[in-house]
Every structure is written in C-alpha cells, then in structure tokens.
Structure 1
C-alpha cells in the first residue's frame, strides 16, 4: 500500500544520475540496516555491565516484551469497516467526515505548540505547497477543531518522529482522548481503492469533487458511471476554506471528494458537520487517478 507523504520531493534520474527506483531501494536498504543497528545498540545499552546476551536478537527481545503491552493496543478500522460505515451513512442520509493526518497535518498542529516554530519550519519545508505557511495560529486552531469533530481519522502507521512520534503528543496537547476515536490508517484512501470499495461507493451517486485537479478527476469518475454533481476548483490554502464550503452548499450531492492538501481536513469536517453530507479526504489518490497510474475498469 502506498505511504502518502505530502510534499516529499521525488528523485531525478536525468543527467546520468541514479534512477528514482535505485534511490528508493538504496534508501530502504540503508534505513533497514540503520534501524537494525540502532535497535541492537539500544539493547546492548540496557544489559547489566559485564554481560552479553548470546544468540538473541533485538527483534527476539522486542517480540517477547511486546506480549506485555498487547492489552494497550488500539484497534484501527479496517478498509471493510470504513466502507461499511460510509455505505451506511449513504443509505441513511447521515453526515460523515473521513479525514487523514500525515506529517504535514501533524507538523501544522505542532508548530509553536508541541514543537518550536523553527523546527517545524525545517521539518515541514513542504507545508506551503500543502496549503499552509508557518506560523499560522488561526489555521492551526481550525485544523485542531476539525480533527476534534471528525468522524473517522486516518493516522500514520510509521512511528518516525514526524509521524506517530508527533501524533500522540499533539493529541495530548489539544486535550483529545484517542481511546474513543474512530481511527484508521492515513492511507485508507488507497486501501478503499485497492479493495474495490471506493468505486462501489461512488457509482450511481451524486459526487462533488473539490481541489486543484477537480475537473480532471471528475472526468475520470464520469467514465466510471459516477454522476458528477459539481466541481469546485481551485482551493488556495486556508484562506479559501470559507469560499469552498459556501460553494459546496449550493450543490445537491451525496458525497464529496476533497483533494486540497492540509485544508482538506477542515473542508471535509465542515461539509459533514454544517451541511449534513459525507466528505472524504481524497489526497494524492486524485493525482494517481488523473495521471493514469491507478485505473478503474470502464463499464
């Protein structure tokens, strides 16, 4: 399943350099080797002085130790469960917002709160392209309230510092208890597509498409028996949210697909809460469908 990382630069292969695949493979190999070495060194630091632990790996110790923490596992909604909840909301005509938190959203929430501004700026060098320029406390507050009010929240599987390493400190800072939250993976948009659930939800429904690629995505969806109720484009950052939400209210639709970077979280939650509709944070899945990298069978 793809790992959606907002704003991460792609590697270039022009000029005789290494290919993007080669870079990716090299990074993956290096990351795994570094992770293994770091885990082994951490284990060594925990052993009593003048002892060794023969023929036992850090992975073995982790597996044995994890058993004691299994009661603390937080279940995440699987793709079939998310599909069921959306289908039920469509059948009942009830509102539902599905939003997703990646490194961009978490850095936006963390700047000048959990993290110093300059650190967030450095780690979130791509945030302006994702719809938010730091510092922006007003946008940060809007984003926090949207997360608080969302029905289903996608979270990253990665435990790296700007992913789960930020998620739980951010939730704690804003006083959000994750235990009762309906959580799924932040790549749920891809999972719904890959399992065939997304097209079944959209076909023969009135769909509002929102984002900078909305017109192109609408054309792809139309070819798959999806009725396009309207197109709202472009979305120019957080300042554009009131206009987008107001424009959405003028359309009659069953479900909205929103691909507009970080503002999508707020737009989806507002469409659901204020207009009683279903709204899905569609993300870079829009790009992949428009480019043809991902395809749906045409009836």
Structure 2
C-alpha cells in the first residue's frame, strides 16, 4: 500500500479540487476511517459476529442517529467498495502517528486488510483528515465562493450549517440542502441529487459513512463535485472547526 510520505498533502488535494472546479470536471473526494473500515470488514476480513462486537458497531446499533447506519449491512459495504474504487481521491489513515481517535488495529491496519480483500487500489490517496484541514484553510473556502453549493447533512444541523456558510467569513451561495439521517434514505437522496444536477456545482456532504457513496455518486451521476466533508459541517456550527477555529487532531502543521 501507499507509504505515508507518498500521500498527497492537503495543498496538493486542494490544487486538484481547484482544477476540477475550473475545468468543470467531475470530481469526488471520499474518506476512509475506522467507521468505514468496520463497514468494509463485514463478512470479508471479519465475521459478522465479530464486526457487531466492535464498539463502533454497537454504538451504530444503539440509535439510528448515532452513525446513520444499522449493522449488518453488506449492501452498504459493496456500495462503499464501488465508491472507493471510482473516487477521484481517497483519504486513508497514516501508518504512523495517526490522529484518528481509535485503536490502531481499526485504522490503517484494517484499511490495508479490507483494501487487499476487495482489490482496492486508490487512484490517488491523501490523509482522511483532509476535510478538517480544508475547513481551516481560506484558500479552500475561496475556491467555493461564487459556486452553487449543495449541503447534505443531518436534519439537526442542516439549517444552522446553511445559515453559517452563507455569512462571513464563508460567503457561500448555498442553493440547496438535503437532510440525511440514515442509510435508508440513500436511494431517495440519490434521486434528488440527480434531479437537481443543474442546480448545484459542489456538494459538501456530512452523513457519516454514507458520505463515501454520496460523494462519489455526485460526480458519477451529475458530473459535479462531491466532497465527503466528514464532521466538519457540524464542527463549524459548534465552533470546533472552521476559519476561526482549529479542529482537534487536524492542525495545519500535521497535514501540510
């Protein structure tokens, strides 16, 4: 697999994003962390029984709102495999000193296992926290200004996120938002995205593990840009990330 030193830096990813915006080319950024690894591990490198014993899976099954998915779900697993294989850029954990708050065995070790199992070789890779550094970079937000932005996130954050991003210092033209809380809304949401392909240029997507599929499908079905933005939209509203706030574990000097 790709050594840490060969992963794209945040600035290199941003450059590719800007090129896609300028040339109006389809582009998708998806990200793989411990949650995505556990989805991919279902009945592949882990038995379903073992997967369901993982704390992340137990949390997901406690409430529909926790992780946006109920396990087991091997259909989501297969959709995620397809999305990762076809994404423009894939975020993955570091081998060393990774900032994700999870056990090492659930980070890059497990990514390598599931990628090998499904024969996934990302076209281009970066670190999975690229979204959190993007949130702190003025160049990222400037690249989005003047473009039509679609927001896809949980209903509890959707309105607040839209209001925040329309104001200074972000000044984004948010033309549509879609509330997304659980995997069972995926097909309906994809239909809405396709029906509105002429009403947005870039989608910022914060729907947990479902964001991987949605971001790649935005590029594939609309020719627009889909960005798996992780928890960054929620963190911006909570003032834990953004232009005026730093997100824990994603300092600019950690991910150059």
Matched residues in 2 for 1:79 and 1:295: separation? 15
* Residue aligning to 1:115: 46
TM superposition outliers: structure 1 runs of 4+ over 4 Å: 71-74
**1:214/1:231 contact within 8 Å kept:** yes
Correspondence for 1:200? 142
Query: d(CA) in 2 for partners of 1:173 and 1:225?
Result: 43
State the TM-score, normalizing by the size of structure 2: 0.82
Match of 1:165 among 90, 95, 109: 109
Say if 2:93 and 2:108, in contact at 8 Å, map to a contact too: yes
The answer as to whether partners of 1:104 and 1:127 remain within 8 angstroms in 2 is: no
Q: Distance in 1 between matches of 2:68 and 2:85?
A: 20
Whole-angstrom CA distance in 2 between matches of 1:290 and 1:206: 20
User: How many angstroms does 1:256 deviate by?
Assistant: 0.3
Q: Which runs of 5+ in 2 are unaligned?
A: 245-256
Task: Normalising by structure 1, report the TM-score.
Answer: 0.71
Aligned residue for 1:288?
235
Report deviation, 1:292: 2.2
Give the structure 2 partner of residue 242 of structure 1. Answer: 187
Structure with more relative contact order (C-alpha pairs < 8 Å, separation 6 or more): 2
Q: CA deviation at 1:126?
A: 2.6
Largest Rg, 1 or 2: 1
| Aligned 8 A contact 1:288 1:294 in 2 | yes
The 3 A distance-change label for structure 1 pair 72 and 217 is closer
Where do 5+ consecutive residues of structure 1 fail to align? 1-70
Q: Deviations over 1:7-52 (max 9, x none)?
A: xxxxxxxxxxxxxxxxxxxxxxxxxxxxxxxxxxxxxxxxxxxxxx
Matched with 1:94 is: 25
2:79 is paired with a residue whose SS is helix
Residue deviations 1:187-241 (CA, integer Å, cap 9, x gap):
00011122323211221211000011222111111003210110101x1322211
| In structure 1, distance between residues paired with 2:25 and 2:3 | 32
Deviation of 1:73 (Å)? 6.1
Q: Given the alignment, which residue of 14, 28, 35 partners 1:83?
A: 14
Match in the other structure for 1:126: 59
1:44-63 matches, cutoff 5 A: none
- Once residues 266 and 197 of structure 1 are traced to their aligned partners in structure 2, the CA distance between those partners, rounded to angstroms, is 26
Give the distance between the partners of 2:203 and 2:150, measured in 1 at CA: 5
For residue 219 of structure 2, what is the aligned residue in structure 1?
A: 272
| Paired residue secondary structure (1:161) | helix
